[in-house]
C-alpha cells in the first residue's frame, strides 16, 4: 500500500471518514505519525474533548421524550463527525457493540449517556478498570438485571454475559461459574428516583465465599472481576474480537501475537489498538463490509453534508443500525445483515438523500459534476479508484439530475465500492 | 460468522457459475415462479417419503412459515402445566388459573394472551411440542440459536436447516436457478435460511422497503445505474457479495412493494411491542400478503425478539404473547379470506425454555426444555406432545426429551423434498400430521 492508501485505510476502518483536504494533511505526516495520533492523542498534543452531551439538559417528561432522544443521537453524530480523537471514538463504538447496552432496555437517557461517556473515557485505557467500571455502571445494572438481583434469588444475566460475551468466551467457564458470579455480584441497585444513582445495599448481597473460575474466596464484584480478568483466556478473547472488528477475517497467529502484547502491557487497550492498526496498514486485514453508521458518517464527512436529525435517524433505522439500540446483547449484526435486501434498499435511499443535501460548494459534488471519477474516489477515501462497473455506471448518469453531479454522487455513495472498507 | 462466510461463499459460487448474465437470470427465475403458481406443474418431480395423502395442495404451492421468538420464550408460562409445583416455583409469576385458556383433554392451559389462537386448538389445527430442544442444549443465547438454526448439534455448521432444504430442492423446483424470493426473512435475516446456494430476501421492516429517490433526479436512470454497478462481478469475494445484493434487492423491492404497509417514520428509538424492530402482527400480515402474491415463495421466517425475560416478566411476557396470539389469528384470518389457508404450515421456535424457578427480579433465567407450536390444516391438532414435567428436573431445568429435529423433519416432509439428508438421518415421527 502507498502511504495514501494506508492513511485512507485508517480513516475508513479506525475513524469516521475525513473532510475533503484532510487526507492530504495526514499523508504529509506519514503513517507512523498518524497511528501515534490515533492511539495516543493526548500525548501527541490533541486536547481532550468534552462529552458530546456535556450541555444536554434532560427533561423527565414523556411529551419531550421524542425530541430529547433525537437531540442525544444528533449530538453523538455531530461529535463523531467533528472529533479530532477519531480512534478514541472508534473504540467507544467498538465497546458499544461489545457491551451492546440498549436504550430499549435502559429507558433513561441520562443513564445511557453516563454509560457512553464511560466507554469513551476509559475505552482506550486499562481493560481491567473498564470491566470493573462497567460491572457496576447504572446502565449495565439495568440492562442485564444486576439491579434487581438479590442474594436470595440471584439473576444470572450479567454473570453469564460477563463470561460469555465480555471477557472469556464460551468454553472457558462452567454453569457453576455463572451461578457463583451471579451470587457474588448481588447487592447493587440503581435508584431511578435519584437520577439513576448506583448504590450497594448490603442486605441484598450474598457475601458467601465462592469458588469461581477455580479461584476460591470470590465474594463480591472486585473479586469476580479480578478472577475473570486474570483468566488466561481473556487477552486472546479481547484481542480476537478487536482484530476481527477492525481487520475482518484474520489469522490465529496474528491474534496470538496481539494477545501476547496486550497481556504484557497489563491489558492496556491502546497497546492492543496500536497492534491492530499496525497489522492493518501492513495489509494483514481483509476487505470488510461496512456497517451502516460508519458508512453514513463517512459519506457525510466526505461530502460535507449535515442532515436534519429526524431524517438522519430514519436512515440509520432503515439500514438496520441505530446508535444506542443494538438489537440484542450480542451487539450489532454483521456483513450478511448489511448486505441483505433491506439494508441495501435503505442504503440506496440514504445515498440519494445525502446527495440531495450535499452543499453546492462540495468538492465531491464538483468532481461528480465534472466526471472526474478519480478525484471523486479520492475524496470518498478510495485513493486507488473505483471499480470498472461503477465507473461505467457513473458515465451513464451524466445529466440525470436537475442539479449537476447529484445523481452521480448518489450512485457513487450507493456503489458496492463504498460499502467495502 | 456462520452467515457471513456462507454469504461470501454463495456470492463467490454465483460469480463462478453465473457470470455476467446472472442479473437477467434472477429476473427470469422470478418470471418462472410467477408462471409456476399459475400452472402448478413444475414441482411434480419433488419426491418425499411420506406424502400427506389426500392433500389437495401441490407441494410447490406449500409455504412453511417459521416464527422465530428469540431470547428464549418461557415455556412454563406459555403452556402452563396443571401441577402444584407450578405455583411453588413461581410465587410472583404464576398466572391465575381462572384467566388461562383451557386446552380441552389435556393437563395444560394457555397464557391468557394466547386466547386469540384458542380457535385453532378447537378446530384441531394446532399442536404443542413440550420439552423440546437440541442435543446438548446450551444456555447461551448464541450457541443455542446457532444449533436451532443449523440443526447440527455439537459442531459448527455453515448452513441452516431451511437453507439446506432450499438448496436440495432447487434443481427440482427451479432447474437449479437461484431465486431469492423462494425464501423471505421478515423482521431480520435468519441464519436458518443460509444455504450453500440459497440466498434469501431479507425484509426487516416491510413498511420501509423501497428504493428511494428524490424529485429532480431520474429515478429510473439511477436504479438502472445501481444495477449496472453489480456486473461483472469482482474477484474480491466481499465486493462481489456487495454487488450481488443489488439486483436481488431491486427485484424484491419491485415485487414486494405492493404488500408493504406504510411507515410514518416518526419514532426515534423505534420498537415493536417489546423492542423488536417490528411486531409479529405486522410481519405476519406481510407474510400473508406475500403468500397471496403467488410468487413461488416456499419458506418465510418471521423474526421477533425480546423473549429474554430476566426481569419484570409478567407484563413483558403478556405483551409478547399478545403480539404472537393476535398476529397468528390475524394471519390465518387473512389467509382464509384470500383462499390460501390450505397452503400454509406455521412452526414456532425459540432457542431455549427458561428456568422453572423464578429469580428475584420478577423474571426467569436461561433454562432448557423449550416449547414449539405447529399450526396448519394438516396438523394433527389438539395434542400436546411431550411434557413440561416440573418435578423431575435436571439441575433446576425442564428436560428436553424431544429433539427439535423431529419437528423440523415433520415440517420439511410436509413441504416436500428430501428430509433425512438435510437433518442428518431420520428422526422420530411425532405424529404431528394427519395421515
Q: Which three cell numbers stand for residue B335?
A: 389467509
**Bridge-based pairing state of the strands A197-200 and A188-191:** antiparallel
- Look at residue A141 in the predicted model and tell me its pLDDT: 98
Select from A317, A308, A286, A403 the least CA-distant residue to A356: A403
Residue showing cell 440466498: B199
Q: To the nearest whole angstrom, how far is the Cα of B17 from the nearest Cα of chain A? A: 19
In the stretch 376-395 of chain B, residues with CB closer than 8 A to chain A read 395
The answer to the question of residue B435 being in a domain is no
pLDDT in tens, B139-165: 999 889 999 999 999 888 889 999 999
What does the pLDDT average to over A383-399?
95
- pLDDT above 60 (res A64): yes
Whole-angstrom distance, CA of residue B389 vs CA of residue B386: 9
Whole-angstrom distance, CA of residue A18 vs CA of residue B340: 53
The answer to the question of residue B409 being in a domain is yes
- Look at residue B38 in the predicted model and tell me its pLDDT: 31
What does the pLDDT average to over A63-81?
95
| Per-residue burial over B93-114, b = 16 or more CB atoms within 10 Å of its CB, e = otherwise | bbbeeeebbebeebebbbbbbb
Residues 6+ apart with CB under 8 A from B114: B78, B101, B321, B324, B325
Please measure the distance between the N-terminal and C-terminal CA atoms of chain B and give it in whole angstroms.
40
Considering only the beta carbons, identify the residue of A145, A152, A389 that sits closest to B230.
A389
The answer to the question of residue B424 being in a domain is no
Determine whether the interchain pair B222/A353 forms a contact, defined as Cβ–Cβ distance below 8 Å: no
The answer to the question of residue B339 being in a domain is yes
- Look at residue B156 in the predicted model and tell me its pLDDT: 82
In a mutagenesis test of the B interface, which of A339, A390, A406, A413 is the best target, namely the one with the most B β-carbons within 10 Å?
A: A339
In a mutagenesis test of the A interface, which of B19, B222, B223, B227 is the best target, namely the one with the most A β-carbons within 10 Å?
A: B222
Angle at Cα A45 formed by Cα A43 and Cα A46, nearest 5°?
100
Whole-angstrom distance, CA of residue A346 vs CA of residue B203: 11
Chain A CB within 8 Å of residue B254 CB: no
pLDDT in tens, B421-430: 999 999 999 9
Average pLDDT score, chain A? 96
pLDDT in tens, A125-148: 999 999 999 999 999 999 999 999
- What's the CATH code of the domain at B88? 3.40.720
Q: State CA B173 to chain mean position distance.
A: 21
Chain A neighbors of B71, CB-CB under 8 A? 328
| Confidence category of residue B258, pLDDT binned at 50, 70, 90 | low
Collect contacts of A51-59 with beta carbons under 8 A, ≥24 apart.
A51/A113, A51/A117, A51/A120, A52/A76, A52/A78, A52/A79, A52/A116, A53/A113, A53/A116, A53/A117, A56/A113, A58/A109, A58/A110
- Look at residue B55 in the predicted model and tell me its pLDDT: 59
Determine whether the interchain pair A155/B311 forms a contact, defined as Cβ–Cβ distance below 8 Å: yes
Whole-angstrom distance, CA of residue B246 vs CA of residue B26: 11
- Look at residue A23 in the predicted model and tell me its pLDDT: 98
Considering only the beta carbons, identify the residue of B139, B194, B234 that sits closest to A175.
B139
A329 HSE (CA, 13 A, CB side): 27
Q: To the nearest whole angstrom, how far is the Cα of B299 from the nearest Cα of chain A? A: 16
Residues A108, A113, A116, A121, Cα dihedral to 10°: -150
Q: Give how far Cα A20 sits from Cα of A86, A301, A379, A380, Å.
A: 16, 8, 6, 8
pLDDT in tens, B37-47: 333 333 333 33
- Look at residue B83 in the predicted model and tell me its pLDDT: 84
Residue showing cell 422497503: B209
Whole-angstrom distance, CA of residue B272 vs CA of residue B302: 13
Chain A neighbors of B1, CB-CB under 8 A? 334
| Per-residue burial over B41-70, b = 16 or more CB atoms within 10 Å of its CB, e = otherwise | ebbeebeeeeebeeeebbbbbbbbbbbbbb
Q: Which residue of A has its CA nearest to B248?
A: A341
Whole-angstrom distance, CA of residue B319 vs CA of residue B311: 14
Q: State CA B56 to chain mean position distance.
A: 24
Q: To the nearest whole angstrom, how far is the Cα of A247 from the nearest Cα of chain B? A: 13
| Per-residue burial over A161-192, b = 16 or more CB atoms within 10 Å of its CB, e = otherwise | bbbbbbbbbeebbeeebbbbbbbbbbbbbbee
Number of neighbours of residue B181 by Cβ within 10 angstroms: 25
In a mutagenesis test of the A interface, which of B9, B144, B214 is the best target, namely the one with the most A β-carbons within 10 Å?
A: B214
- pLDDT above 70 (res B249): yes
Average pLDDT score, chain B? 84
Select from A117, A13, A7 the least CA-distant residue to A56: A117
- Look at residue B209 in the predicted model and tell me its pLDDT: 87
The answer to the question of residue B421 being in a domain is no
pLDDT in tens, A242-261: 999 999 999 999 999 999 99
The answer to the question of residue B427 being in a domain is no
The three state secondary structure string of chain A is CCHHHHHHHHHHHCCCCCCCCHHHHHHHHCHHHHHHHHHCCHHHCCCCCCCCCCCCCCCCCHHHHHHHHHHHHHHHHHHHHHCCCHHHHHHHHHHHHHHCCCHHHHCCHHHHHHHHHHHHHCCCCEHHHHHHHHHCCHHHHHHCCHHHCCCCCCCCHHHHHHHHHHHCCCCCCCHHHHHHHHHHCCCEEEEHHHCCEEEECHHHCCCCCEEECCEEEECCHHHHHHHHHHCCCHHHHHHHHHHHHHHCCCCHHHHHHHHHHHHHCCCEHHHHHHHHHHHHHCCCCCCCECCHHHHHHHHHHHHCCCCCHHHHHHHHHHHCCCCCCCCCCCCCCCHHHHCCHHHHHHHHHHHHHHHHHCCCCCHHHHHHHHCCHHHHHHHCCCCCCCCHHHHHHHHCCCCCECCCCHHHHHHHHHCHHHHEC
Residue showing cell 411486531: B279
| Confidence category of residue B268, pLDDT binned at 50, 70, 90 | very low
pLDDT in tens, B28-70: 333 333 333 333 333 333 333 334 445 579 999 999 999 999 9
In the stretch 280-309 of chain B, residues with CB closer than 8 A to chain A read 305-306, 308
Residues 6+ apart with CB under 8 A from B235: B15
Question: Does B1 or A278 have the greater pLDDT score?
Answer: A278
Determine whether the interchain pair B359/A149 forms a contact, defined as Cβ–Cβ distance below 8 Å: yes
**Bridge-based pairing state of the strands B63-69 and B299-304:** parallel
What does the pLDDT average to over A171-188?
97
Number of neighbours of residue A220 by Cβ within 10 angstroms: 17
Q: Which H helix or E strand runs over B331?
A: helix B313-338
Total domain count for chain B? 1
Residues 6+ apart with CB under 8 A from B358: A153, B89, B90, B91, B92, B93, B313, B364
User: Looking only at Cα atoms, what is the longest distance across chain A?
Assistant: 75
**Cα Rg of chain A (Å, integer):** 23
- Look at residue B276 in the predicted model and tell me its pLDDT: 44
Q: Give how far Cα B162 sits from Cα of A358, B144, B298, Å.
A: 44, 17, 10
Q: Give the domain extent around B172.
A: 2-39+48-415
- Look at residue A156 in the predicted model and tell me its pLDDT: 95
Q: Give how far Cα B235 sits from Cα of A6, A287, A393, B177, Å.
A: 22, 12, 19, 21
- pLDDT above 50 (res A74): yes
In total, the C-beta contacts within 8 angstroms joining chain A to chain B are 241
Whole-angstrom distance, CA of residue A378 vs CA of residue B255: 37
Number of neighbours of residue B418 by Cβ within 10 angstroms: 18
Chain A neighbors of B270, CB-CB under 8 A? 317, 322
- Look at residue B277 in the predicted model and tell me its pLDDT: 53
The answer to the question of residue B434 being in a domain is no
Share of chain B above pLDDT 90, in %: 71
B420 HSE (CA, 13 A, CB side): 9
Sign of the CA dihedral with B364 first, then A324, A126, and A289 last: positive
Number of neighbours of residue A333 by Cβ within 10 angstroms: 20
Collect contacts of A356-359 with beta carbons under 8 A, ≥24 apart.
A356/A406, A356/A410, A356/B214, A356/B217, A357/A305, A357/A306, A357/A307, A358/A303, A358/A304, A358/A305, A358/A406, A358/A409, A359/A303, A359/A304, A359/A305
| Per-residue burial over A93-115, b = 16 or more CB atoms within 10 Å of its CB, e = otherwise | bbbbbbbbbbbbbbebbbbbbbb
- pLDDT above 80 (res B26): no
Whole-angstrom distance, CA of residue A143 vs CA of residue A96: 13
CB-based contact A362:A304 (threshold 8 Å): yes
In a mutagenesis test of the B interface, which of A285, A326, A344 is the best target, namely the one with the most B β-carbons within 10 Å?
A: A344
- pLDDT above 70 (res B380): yes
The answer to the question of residue B430 being in a domain is no
Amino acid at each position: 500500500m502507498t502511504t495514501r492508501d494506508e492513511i485512507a485505510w485508517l480513516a475508513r476502518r479506525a475513524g469516521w471518514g475525513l473532510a475533503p483536504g484532510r487526507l492530504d494533511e495526514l499523508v504529509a505526516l506519514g503513517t507512523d505519525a498518524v497511528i501515534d495520533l490515533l492511539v495516543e492523542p493526548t500525548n501527541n498534543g490533541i486536547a481532550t474533548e468534552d462529552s458530546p452531551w456535556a450541555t444536554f439538559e434532560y427533561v423527565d417528561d414523556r411529551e419531550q421524550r421524542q425530541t430529547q432522544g433525537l437531540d442525544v443521537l444528533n449530538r453523538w453524530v455531530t461529535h463523531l463527525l467533528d472529533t479530532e480523537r477519531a480512534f478514541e471514538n472508534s473504540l467507544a463504538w467498538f465497546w458499544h457493540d461489545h457491551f451492546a447496552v440498549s436504550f430499549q432496555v435502559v429507558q433513561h437517557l441520562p443513564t445511557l449517556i453516563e454509560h457512553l461517556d464511560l466507554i469513551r473515557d476509559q475505552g482506550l485505557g486499562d481493560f481491567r478498570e473498564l470491566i470493573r467500571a462497567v460491572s457496576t455502571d447504572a446502565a449495565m445494572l439495568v440492562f442485564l438485571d444486576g439491579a434487581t438481583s438479590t442474594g436470595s434469588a440471584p439473576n444470572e444475566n450479567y454473570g453469564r454475559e460477563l463470561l460469555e460475551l465480555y471477557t472469556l468466551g464460551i468454553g472457558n467457564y462452567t454453569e457453576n461459574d455463572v451461578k457463583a458470579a451471579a451470587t457474588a455480584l448481588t447487592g447493587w441497585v440503581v435508584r431511578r428516583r435519584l437520577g439513576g444513582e448506583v448504590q450497594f445495599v448490603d442486605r441484598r448481597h450474598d457475601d458467601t465465599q465462592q469458588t469461581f473460575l477455580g479461584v476460591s474466596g470470590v465474594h463480591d464484584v472486585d473479586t469476580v472481576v479480578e478472577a475473570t480478568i486474570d483468566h488466561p483466556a481473556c487477552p486472546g478473547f479481547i484481542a480476537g474480537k478487536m482484530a476481527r472488528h477492525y481487520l475482518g477475517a484474520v489469522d490465529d497467529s496474528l491474534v496470538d501475537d496481539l494477545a501476547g502484547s496486550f497481556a504484557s502491557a497489563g491489558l492496556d487497550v491502546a497497546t492492543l489498538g496500536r497492534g491492530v492498526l499496525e497489522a492493518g496498514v501492513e495489509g494483514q486485514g481483509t476487505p470488510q463490509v461496512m456497517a451502516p453508521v460508519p458508512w453514513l458518517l463517512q459519506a457525510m464527512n466526505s461530502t460535507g453534508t449535515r442532515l436534519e436529525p429526524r431524517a438522519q435517524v430514519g436512515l440509520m433505522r432503515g439500514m438496520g443500525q441505530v446508535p444506542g439500540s443494538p438489537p440484542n446483547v450480542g451487539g450489532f449484526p454483521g456483513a450478511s445483515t448489511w448486505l441483505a435486501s433491506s439494508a441495501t434498499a435503505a442504503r440506496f435511499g440514504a445515498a440519494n438523500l445525502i446527495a440531495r443535501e450535499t452543499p453546492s460548494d462540495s468538492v465531491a459534488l464538483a468532481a461528480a459534476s465534472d466526471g472526474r471519477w478519480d478525484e471523486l474516489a479520492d475524496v470518498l477515501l478510495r485513493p486507488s479508484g473505483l471499480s470498472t462497473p461503477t465507473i461505467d455506471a457513473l458515465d451513464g448518469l451524466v445529466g440525470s439530475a436537475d442539479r449537476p453531479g447529484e445523481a452521480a454522487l448518489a450512485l457513487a455513495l450507493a456503489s458496492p465500492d463504498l460499502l467495502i472498507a | 460468522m456462520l452467515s457471513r462466510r456462507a454469504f461470501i461463499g454463495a456470492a463467490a459460487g454465483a460469480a463462478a457459475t453465473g457470470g455476467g448474465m446472472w442479473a437477467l437470470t434472477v429476473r427470469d427465475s422470478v418470471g418462472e415462479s410467477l408462471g409456476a403458481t399459475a400452472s402448478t406443474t413444475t414441482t411434480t418431480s419433488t419426491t418425499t417419503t411420506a406424502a400427506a395423502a389426500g392433500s389437495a395442495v401441490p407441494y410447490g404451492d406449500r409455504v412453511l412459515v417459521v416464527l422465530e421468538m428469540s431470547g428464549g420464550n418461557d415455556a412454563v408460562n406459555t403452556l402452563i402445566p396443571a401441577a402444584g409445583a407450578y405455583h411453588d416455583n413461581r410465587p410472583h409469576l404464576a398466572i391465575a388459573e381462572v384467566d388461562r385458556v383451557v386446552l380441552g383433554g389435556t393437563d395444560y392451559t394457555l397464557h391468557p394472551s394466547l386466547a386469540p389462537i384458542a380457535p385453532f386448538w378447537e378446530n384441531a389445527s394446532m399442536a404443542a411440542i413440550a420439552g423440546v430442544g437440541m442435543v446438548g442444549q446450551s444456555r447461551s443465547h448464541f450457541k443455542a440459536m446457532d444449533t436451532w438454526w443449523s440443526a447440527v448439534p455439537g459442531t459448527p455448521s455453515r448452513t441452516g436447516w431451511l437453507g439446506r432444504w432450499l438448496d436440495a430442492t432447487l434443481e427440482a423446483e427451479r432447474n437449479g436457478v437461484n431465486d431469492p424470493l423462494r425464501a423471505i426473512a421478515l423482521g431480520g435475516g435468519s441464519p436458518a435460511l443460509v444455504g450453500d446456494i440459497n440466498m434469501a430476501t431479507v425484509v426487516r421492516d416491510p413498511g420501509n422497503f423501497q428504493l428511494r429517490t428524490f424529485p429532480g433526479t431520474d429515478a429510473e436512470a439511477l436504479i438502472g445505474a445501481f444495477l449496472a454497478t453489480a456486473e461483472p462481478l469482482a474477484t474480491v469475494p466481499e465486493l462481489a457479495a456487495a454487488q450481488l445484493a443489488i439486483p436481488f434487492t431491486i427485484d424484491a423491492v419491485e415485487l414486494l412493494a405492493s404488500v408493504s404497509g406504510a411507515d410514518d417514520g416518526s419514532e426515534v428509538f423505534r420498537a415493536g411491542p417489546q423492542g423488536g424492530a417490528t411486531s409479529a402482527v405486522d410481519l405476519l400480515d406481510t407474510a400473508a400478503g406475500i403468500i397471496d402474491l403467488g410468487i413461488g415463495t416456499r419458506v418465510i421466517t418471521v423474526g421477533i425478539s425480546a423473549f429474554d425475560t430476566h426481569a419484570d416478566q409478567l407484563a413483558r411476557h403478556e405483551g409478547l404473547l399478545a403480539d404472537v396470539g393476535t398476529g397468528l389469528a390475524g394471519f390465518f384470518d387473512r389467509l382464509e379470506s384470500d383462499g390460501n389457508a390450505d397452503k400454509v404450515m406455521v412452526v414456532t421456535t425459540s432457542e431455549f425454555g427458561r428456568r422453572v424457578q423464578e429469580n428475584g427480579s420478577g423474571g426467569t433465567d436461561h433454562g432448557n426444555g423449550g416449547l414449539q407450536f405447529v399450526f396448519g390444516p394438516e396438523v394433527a391438532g389438539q395434542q400436546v406432545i411431550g411434557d413440561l414435567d416440573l418435578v423431575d428436573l435436571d439441575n433446576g431445568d425442564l428436560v428436553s426429551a424431544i429433539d427439535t429435529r423431529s419437528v423440523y423433519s415433520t415440517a420439511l416432509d410436509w413441504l416436500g423434498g428430501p428430509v433425512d439428508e438435510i437433518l442428518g438421518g431420520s428422526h422420530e415421527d411425532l405424529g404431528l400430521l394427519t395421515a
